A and B are shown apart, each in its own frame.
Chain A
Amino acid sequence: MIPSIEFRGVSKFFGNIIALKDISFKVFKGEITALLGDNGAGKSTLIKLLSGVHMPSEGEILLSGEPVNFKSPRQAVSAGIGTVYQDLALQPLMSVTRNFFLGREITKGLFLNMPLMNTITKKEMAKLGIDVADPTQPIGTMSGGQRQTLAIARAIYFGANILILDEPTSALGQKQQLEVLRTIKKVKELGDIAIIFITHNDMHAKLLGDRFAFLNRGKVLAEGSRDEIDMNNLRPLMAGGAELEKLETEFSGR
Protein backbone atom coordinates (compact mmCIF):
# COMPACT_ATOMS: atom_id res chain seq x y z
CA MET A 1 0.00 0.00 0.00
CA ILE A 2 1.21 3.49 -0.82
CA PRO A 3 1.57 5.59 2.33
CA SER A 4 -0.79 8.56 2.57
CA ILE A 5 2.16 10.60 3.60
CA GLU A 6 5.83 9.75 3.74
CA PHE A 7 8.84 11.68 4.98
CA ARG A 8 12.07 10.74 3.22
CA GLY A 9 15.23 12.05 4.82
CA VAL A 10 13.64 15.36 5.75
CA SER A 11 15.76 17.94 7.58
CA LYS A 12 14.93 21.41 8.75
CA PHE A 13 17.48 24.01 9.74
CA PHE A 14 16.87 27.42 11.24
CA GLY A 15 20.15 29.24 10.71
CA ASN A 16 22.71 27.19 12.58
CA ILE A 17 20.06 25.29 14.53
CA ILE A 18 19.26 21.79 13.38
CA ALA A 19 15.59 21.38 14.29
CA LEU A 20 15.09 18.10 12.43
CA LYS A 21 17.72 15.84 10.92
CA ASP A 22 17.10 13.11 8.36
CA ILE A 23 13.53 12.29 9.36
CA SER A 24 11.84 9.33 7.68
CA PHE A 25 8.50 7.77 8.47
CA LYS A 26 5.28 6.59 6.82
CA VAL A 27 1.61 7.13 7.55
CA PHE A 28 -1.15 4.94 6.10
CA LYS A 29 -4.85 5.58 5.75
CA GLY A 30 -7.12 3.93 8.24
CA GLU A 31 -4.21 3.79 10.64
CA ILE A 32 -3.02 5.78 13.59
CA THR A 33 0.63 6.70 13.55
CA ALA A 34 1.71 7.69 16.99
CA LEU A 35 4.50 10.24 16.90
CA LEU A 36 6.20 10.20 20.25
CA GLY A 37 8.75 12.54 21.63
CA ASP A 38 9.64 14.55 24.65
CA ASN A 39 9.48 18.33 24.74
CA GLY A 40 12.04 19.82 22.40
CA ALA A 41 12.23 16.68 20.30
CA GLY A 42 11.15 18.58 17.22
CA LYS A 43 7.47 17.67 17.19
CA SER A 44 6.30 21.22 16.59
CA THR A 45 8.69 21.70 13.69
CA LEU A 46 7.48 18.43 12.21
CA ILE A 47 3.86 19.58 12.43
CA LYS A 48 4.78 22.83 10.76
CA LEU A 49 6.43 20.95 7.90
CA LEU A 50 3.35 18.76 7.52
CA SER A 51 0.90 21.62 7.64
CA GLY A 52 2.79 23.85 5.22
CA VAL A 53 3.98 26.48 7.67
CA HIS A 54 7.64 25.62 6.90
CA MET A 55 9.29 23.99 3.94
CA PRO A 56 11.91 21.29 4.48
CA SER A 57 15.56 22.31 4.06
CA GLU A 58 16.47 18.84 2.79
CA GLY A 59 14.69 15.67 1.78
CA GLU A 60 11.18 15.25 0.47
CA ILE A 61 7.62 14.80 1.60
CA LEU A 62 5.47 12.42 -0.46
CA LEU A 63 1.72 12.60 -0.54
CA SER A 64 0.23 9.32 -1.81
CA GLY A 65 3.59 8.65 -3.44
CA GLU A 66 3.87 12.06 -5.13
CA PRO A 67 6.48 14.54 -3.90
CA VAL A 68 4.87 17.73 -2.65
CA ASN A 69 6.17 21.12 -1.64
CA PHE A 70 3.67 23.13 0.38
CA LYS A 71 4.37 26.83 0.20
CA SER A 72 1.55 27.82 2.57
CA PRO A 73 -0.81 26.26 5.13
CA ARG A 74 -3.61 26.86 2.63
CA GLN A 75 -1.95 24.53 0.12
CA ALA A 76 -1.57 21.83 2.75
CA VAL A 77 -5.23 22.17 3.71
CA SER A 78 -6.42 21.92 0.13
CA ALA A 79 -4.23 18.83 -0.28
CA GLY A 80 -6.30 17.25 2.50
CA ILE A 81 -4.03 17.77 5.48
CA GLY A 82 -6.01 18.86 8.52
CA THR A 83 -4.14 19.98 11.61
CA VAL A 84 -5.82 20.17 14.98
CA TYR A 85 -3.57 22.30 17.14
CA GLN A 86 -3.36 22.18 20.88
CA ASP A 87 -5.22 25.47 21.20
CA LEU A 88 -7.86 24.02 18.81
CA ALA A 89 -8.38 27.33 17.02
CA LEU A 90 -11.81 27.77 18.57
CA GLN A 91 -13.68 30.89 19.66
CA PRO A 92 -15.05 30.28 23.18
CA LEU A 93 -17.73 32.98 22.99
CA MET A 94 -19.09 31.86 19.65
CA SER A 95 -21.62 29.07 19.17
CA VAL A 96 -20.81 25.46 18.32
CA THR A 97 -22.13 25.87 14.78
CA ARG A 98 -20.39 29.17 14.16
CA ASN A 99 -17.12 27.65 15.31
CA PHE A 100 -17.62 24.60 13.14
CA PHE A 101 -18.11 26.69 10.02
CA LEU A 102 -15.91 29.66 10.85
CA GLY A 103 -14.10 30.85 7.75
CA ARG A 104 -16.07 28.41 5.55
CA GLU A 105 -19.65 29.44 6.20
CA ILE A 106 -22.55 28.10 4.17
CA THR A 107 -24.62 30.94 2.81
CA LYS A 108 -27.97 31.33 1.21
CA GLY A 109 -27.54 34.35 -0.97
CA LEU A 110 -25.69 36.87 1.18
CA PHE A 111 -26.77 35.43 4.49
CA LEU A 112 -25.74 32.54 6.68
CA ASN A 113 -27.77 29.38 6.31
CA MET A 114 -27.98 28.71 10.05
CA PRO A 115 -30.53 25.83 9.99
CA LEU A 116 -28.45 23.81 7.52
CA MET A 117 -25.22 24.54 9.39
CA ASN A 118 -26.81 23.52 12.70
CA THR A 119 -27.98 20.23 11.20
CA ILE A 120 -24.59 19.42 9.70
CA THR A 121 -22.81 20.28 12.94
CA LYS A 122 -25.05 17.93 14.91
CA LYS A 123 -24.62 15.16 12.35
CA GLU A 124 -20.84 15.44 12.10
CA MET A 125 -20.43 15.51 15.87
CA ALA A 126 -22.70 12.47 16.22
CA LYS A 127 -20.42 10.56 13.81
CA LEU A 128 -17.66 10.96 16.38
CA GLY A 129 -19.93 9.98 19.23
CA ILE A 130 -20.81 13.39 20.65
CA ASP A 131 -24.45 14.34 20.88
CA VAL A 132 -24.69 18.10 20.66
CA ALA A 133 -28.02 18.99 22.20
CA ASP A 134 -28.04 22.62 21.16
CA PRO A 135 -25.47 23.72 18.55
CA THR A 136 -26.42 27.37 19.05
CA GLN A 137 -24.84 27.38 22.50
CA PRO A 138 -21.44 29.03 22.90
CA ILE A 139 -18.67 26.44 23.02
CA GLY A 140 -17.60 27.93 26.33
CA THR A 141 -20.23 25.56 27.70
CA MET A 142 -18.60 22.42 26.22
CA SER A 143 -16.04 20.20 27.95
CA GLY A 144 -12.44 20.17 26.80
CA GLY A 145 -12.92 16.74 25.25
CA GLN A 146 -16.00 17.84 23.34
CA ARG A 147 -14.15 20.87 22.02
CA GLN A 148 -11.36 18.61 20.80
CA THR A 149 -13.95 16.50 19.04
CA LEU A 150 -15.45 19.61 17.48
CA ALA A 151 -12.06 20.62 16.10
CA ILE A 152 -11.49 17.10 14.73
CA ALA A 153 -14.99 16.81 13.25
CA ARG A 154 -14.51 20.16 11.58
CA ALA A 155 -11.19 19.15 10.01
CA ILE A 156 -12.70 15.93 8.67
CA TYR A 157 -15.84 17.58 7.35
CA PHE A 158 -13.73 20.07 5.42
CA GLY A 159 -11.91 17.33 3.60
CA ALA A 160 -8.98 16.27 5.73
CA ASN A 161 -7.87 12.76 4.83
CA ILE A 162 -4.65 13.17 6.75
CA LEU A 163 -5.40 14.32 10.26
CA ILE A 164 -2.64 15.70 12.45
CA LEU A 165 -3.49 15.76 16.14
CA ASP A 166 -1.10 17.87 18.15
CA GLU A 167 -1.04 16.56 21.72
CA PRO A 168 -4.82 16.24 21.84
CA THR A 169 -4.85 14.79 25.34
CA SER A 170 -2.18 16.83 27.06
CA ALA A 171 -4.28 19.70 28.38
CA LEU A 172 -7.19 17.58 29.62
CA GLY A 173 -8.32 15.80 32.77
CA GLN A 174 -8.39 12.00 32.92
CA LYS A 175 -12.02 11.54 31.97
CA GLN A 176 -11.80 13.95 29.08
CA GLN A 177 -8.60 12.30 27.84
CA LEU A 178 -10.52 9.04 27.48
CA GLU A 179 -13.27 10.90 25.65
CA VAL A 180 -10.72 12.18 23.14
CA LEU A 181 -9.10 8.76 22.72
CA ARG A 182 -12.52 7.35 21.96
CA THR A 183 -13.03 10.10 19.37
CA ILE A 184 -9.71 9.28 17.71
CA LYS A 185 -10.73 5.61 17.58
CA LYS A 186 -13.98 6.63 15.90
CA VAL A 187 -12.03 8.61 13.30
CA LYS A 188 -9.89 5.56 12.60
CA GLU A 189 -13.02 3.46 12.16
CA LEU A 190 -14.18 5.81 9.41
CA GLY A 191 -11.45 3.95 7.52
CA ASP A 192 -10.22 6.46 4.97
CA ILE A 193 -8.33 8.86 7.17
CA ALA A 194 -4.65 8.67 8.06
CA ILE A 195 -4.09 9.91 11.57
CA ILE A 196 -0.88 11.32 12.97
CA PHE A 197 -1.25 11.28 16.71
CA ILE A 198 1.40 13.40 18.35
CA THR A 199 1.82 12.77 22.03
CA HIS A 200 4.29 12.35 24.82
CA ASN A 201 1.97 9.98 26.65
CA ASP A 202 3.21 6.45 25.96
CA MET A 203 0.07 4.92 27.47
CA HIS A 204 -2.14 6.71 24.99
CA ALA A 205 0.18 5.88 22.12
CA LYS A 206 0.15 2.23 23.07
CA LEU A 207 -3.63 2.17 23.29
CA LEU A 208 -4.24 3.61 19.86
CA GLY A 209 -1.12 3.38 17.70
CA ASP A 210 -0.85 1.10 14.69
CA ARG A 211 2.53 2.52 13.77
CA PHE A 212 5.01 4.41 15.88
CA ALA A 213 7.73 6.94 15.26
CA PHE A 214 10.00 8.14 18.01
CA LEU A 215 11.49 11.55 17.84
CA ASN A 216 14.41 12.61 19.97
CA ARG A 217 16.51 15.75 19.65
CA GLY A 218 15.47 16.25 16.05
CA LYS A 219 16.00 12.67 14.90
CA VAL A 220 13.78 9.64 14.44
CA LEU A 221 15.09 7.02 16.82
CA ALA A 222 12.85 4.26 15.62
CA GLU A 223 9.94 3.80 13.29
CA GLY A 224 7.71 0.85 12.56
CA SER A 225 4.44 -0.98 12.99
CA ARG A 226 3.15 -2.45 16.22
CA ASP A 227 4.81 -5.81 15.45
CA GLU A 228 8.13 -4.25 14.63
CA ILE A 229 8.45 -2.30 17.83
CA ASP A 230 8.94 -3.68 21.27
CA MET A 231 5.90 -2.26 23.02
CA ASN A 232 7.46 -2.54 26.44
CA ASN A 233 10.16 -0.17 25.41
CA LEU A 234 7.94 2.75 24.48
CA ARG A 235 8.83 4.70 27.55
CA PRO A 236 12.60 4.34 27.36
CA LEU A 237 12.47 5.10 23.65
CA MET A 238 10.74 8.33 24.33
CA ALA A 239 13.25 9.30 26.93
CA GLY A 240 16.07 8.56 24.47
CA GLY A 241 19.41 9.72 25.76
CA ALA A 242 21.07 7.09 27.88
CA GLU A 243 18.82 4.35 26.56
CA LEU A 244 19.84 5.08 23.02
CA GLU A 245 22.68 2.59 22.60
CA LYS A 246 20.84 -0.22 24.23
CA LEU A 247 17.89 0.30 21.91
CA GLU A 248 20.02 0.55 18.82
CA THR A 249 21.45 -2.87 19.45
CA GLU A 250 18.00 -4.18 20.19
CA PHE A 251 16.58 -2.99 16.90
CA SER A 252 19.56 -3.94 14.78
CA GLY A 253 19.18 -7.43 16.18
CA ARG A 254 15.62 -7.94 14.91
Chain B
Amino acid sequence: MQLFIGGTCAGKRGVVRQRFEEPRWHSAHARDRLEAWPSVADTACLVLEGWERWIGERLAAEPDDDRLRQAMVRELDALRAWEAERGGQAVLILLEMGRGIVPLGLENRRLRDLNGWLAQDAAARCERVWYVWNGLVKELSC
Protein backbone atom coordinates (compact mmCIF):
# COMPACT_ATOMS: atom_id res chain seq x y z
CA MET B 1 0.00 0.00 0.00
CA GLN B 2 1.24 3.50 -0.83
CA LEU B 3 0.08 6.88 0.46
CA PHE B 4 0.19 10.20 -1.39
CA ILE B 5 -0.59 13.19 0.81
CA GLY B 6 -0.65 16.90 -0.02
CA GLY B 7 -2.70 20.07 0.28
CA THR B 8 -5.62 21.31 -1.81
CA CYS B 9 -4.77 21.34 -5.55
CA ALA B 10 -1.20 20.23 -4.78
CA GLY B 11 -1.18 17.99 -7.88
CA LYS B 12 -1.75 14.64 -6.10
CA ARG B 13 -3.85 13.05 -8.85
CA GLY B 14 -1.39 14.04 -11.58
CA VAL B 15 1.49 12.49 -9.64
CA VAL B 16 -0.43 9.23 -9.12
CA ARG B 17 -1.46 9.09 -12.79
CA GLN B 18 2.20 9.39 -13.82
CA ARG B 19 3.32 6.59 -11.53
CA PHE B 20 0.70 3.86 -11.92
CA GLU B 21 -0.51 2.28 -15.13
CA GLU B 22 -4.25 2.25 -15.68
CA PRO B 23 -5.32 2.07 -12.06
CA ARG B 24 -8.95 1.65 -11.07
CA TRP B 25 -10.18 4.87 -9.38
CA HIS B 26 -12.55 4.64 -6.46
CA SER B 27 -13.43 8.24 -5.66
CA ALA B 28 -15.72 10.06 -3.26
CA HIS B 29 -15.76 12.87 -5.83
CA ALA B 30 -17.51 10.44 -8.24
CA ARG B 31 -19.92 9.54 -5.42
CA ASP B 32 -18.35 6.11 -4.89
CA ARG B 33 -18.95 4.89 -1.35
CA LEU B 34 -15.85 3.87 0.59
CA GLU B 35 -17.20 0.50 1.73
CA ALA B 36 -18.09 -0.39 -1.89
CA TRP B 37 -14.42 -0.72 -2.91
CA PRO B 38 -14.40 -4.57 -2.86
CA SER B 39 -16.91 -4.54 -5.74
CA VAL B 40 -14.34 -2.83 -8.00
CA ALA B 41 -11.26 -4.62 -6.66
CA ASP B 42 -10.87 -6.92 -9.70
CA THR B 43 -7.81 -4.90 -10.68
CA ALA B 44 -4.05 -4.87 -10.12
CA CYS B 45 -4.03 -1.31 -8.80
CA LEU B 46 -6.81 0.42 -6.90
CA VAL B 47 -6.64 4.17 -6.17
CA LEU B 48 -8.88 5.46 -3.37
CA GLU B 49 -9.42 9.22 -3.07
CA GLY B 50 -11.73 11.64 -1.31
CA TRP B 51 -11.16 10.23 2.18
CA GLU B 52 -12.07 13.59 3.76
CA ARG B 53 -15.48 13.30 2.11
CA TRP B 54 -15.90 9.75 3.33
CA ILE B 55 -15.09 10.91 6.85
CA GLY B 56 -17.42 13.90 6.46
CA GLU B 57 -20.32 11.65 5.42
CA ARG B 58 -19.87 9.54 8.57
CA LEU B 59 -19.55 12.36 11.12
CA ALA B 60 -23.27 12.77 11.79
CA ALA B 61 -24.00 9.06 12.21
CA GLU B 62 -21.01 8.40 14.48
CA PRO B 63 -20.58 11.04 17.22
CA ASP B 64 -17.70 9.11 18.84
CA ASP B 65 -14.34 10.06 17.31
CA ASP B 66 -12.50 6.94 18.47
CA ARG B 67 -15.11 4.61 17.00
CA LEU B 68 -15.09 6.53 13.72
CA ARG B 69 -11.30 6.41 13.64
CA GLN B 70 -11.41 2.63 14.19
CA ALA B 71 -13.99 2.21 11.42
CA MET B 72 -11.59 3.94 9.01
CA VAL B 73 -8.71 1.77 10.25
CA ARG B 74 -10.79 -1.35 9.51
CA GLU B 75 -11.07 -0.22 5.87
CA LEU B 76 -7.27 0.26 5.74
CA ASP B 77 -6.72 -3.21 7.18
CA ALA B 78 -9.21 -4.72 4.72
CA LEU B 79 -7.27 -3.09 1.87
CA ARG B 80 -4.04 -4.59 3.19
CA ALA B 81 -5.68 -8.01 3.44
CA TRP B 82 -6.93 -7.65 -0.15
CA GLU B 83 -3.38 -6.81 -1.29
CA ALA B 84 -1.98 -9.87 0.48
CA GLU B 85 -4.64 -12.24 -0.87
CA ARG B 86 -4.91 -10.93 -4.42
CA GLY B 87 -1.43 -9.51 -5.04
CA GLY B 88 -2.95 -6.13 -5.85
CA GLN B 89 -1.77 -2.70 -4.87
CA ALA B 90 -3.79 -0.06 -3.06
CA VAL B 91 -2.89 3.62 -3.54
CA LEU B 92 -4.38 6.12 -1.07
CA ILE B 93 -4.67 9.83 -1.83
CA LEU B 94 -5.15 11.95 1.30
CA LEU B 95 -5.67 15.67 1.72
CA GLU B 96 -3.38 17.57 4.09
CA MET B 97 -5.72 19.99 5.89
CA GLY B 98 -4.16 20.34 9.32
CA ARG B 99 -1.85 23.30 8.78
CA GLY B 100 -4.29 26.20 9.03
CA ILE B 101 -6.22 27.92 11.81
CA VAL B 102 -8.43 25.77 14.06
CA PRO B 103 -11.87 25.77 12.39
CA LEU B 104 -14.68 27.57 14.23
CA GLY B 105 -17.31 24.86 13.63
CA LEU B 106 -17.35 21.61 15.63
CA GLU B 107 -18.00 19.50 12.50
CA ASN B 108 -14.94 20.94 10.78
CA ARG B 109 -12.79 20.47 13.87
CA ARG B 110 -13.83 16.80 14.04
CA LEU B 111 -13.22 16.39 10.32
CA ARG B 112 -9.75 17.89 10.60
CA ASP B 113 -8.86 15.73 13.61
CA LEU B 114 -10.14 12.52 12.05
CA ASN B 115 -8.42 13.27 8.75
CA GLY B 116 -5.13 13.77 10.61
CA TRP B 117 -5.51 10.50 12.52
CA LEU B 118 -6.39 8.72 9.31
CA ALA B 119 -3.17 10.01 7.73
CA GLN B 120 -1.15 8.67 10.67
CA ASP B 121 -2.97 5.32 10.64
CA ALA B 122 -2.57 5.02 6.87
CA ALA B 123 1.12 5.95 6.90
CA ALA B 124 1.76 3.33 9.61
CA ARG B 125 0.29 0.67 7.26
CA CYS B 126 1.94 1.80 4.01
CA GLU B 127 5.25 0.61 2.60
CA ARG B 128 5.86 3.99 1.01
CA VAL B 129 4.58 7.48 1.84
CA TRP B 130 4.88 10.44 -0.53
CA TYR B 131 4.38 14.17 0.09
CA VAL B 132 3.06 16.09 -2.92
CA TRP B 133 3.83 19.82 -3.00
CA ASN B 134 3.13 22.09 -5.96
CA GLY B 135 3.17 19.18 -8.40
CA LEU B 136 6.47 17.78 -7.10
CA VAL B 137 6.78 14.66 -4.98
CA LYS B 138 9.12 13.60 -2.20
CA GLU B 139 9.24 10.33 -0.29
CA LEU B 140 8.81 10.67 3.47
CA SER B 141 10.89 8.29 5.52
CA CYS B 142 8.82 5.84 7.53
Specify whether A and B are partners. Answer: no
Residues of chain B having any CB pair with chain A under 8 Å: none
Residues of chain A having any CB pair with chain B under 8 Å: none
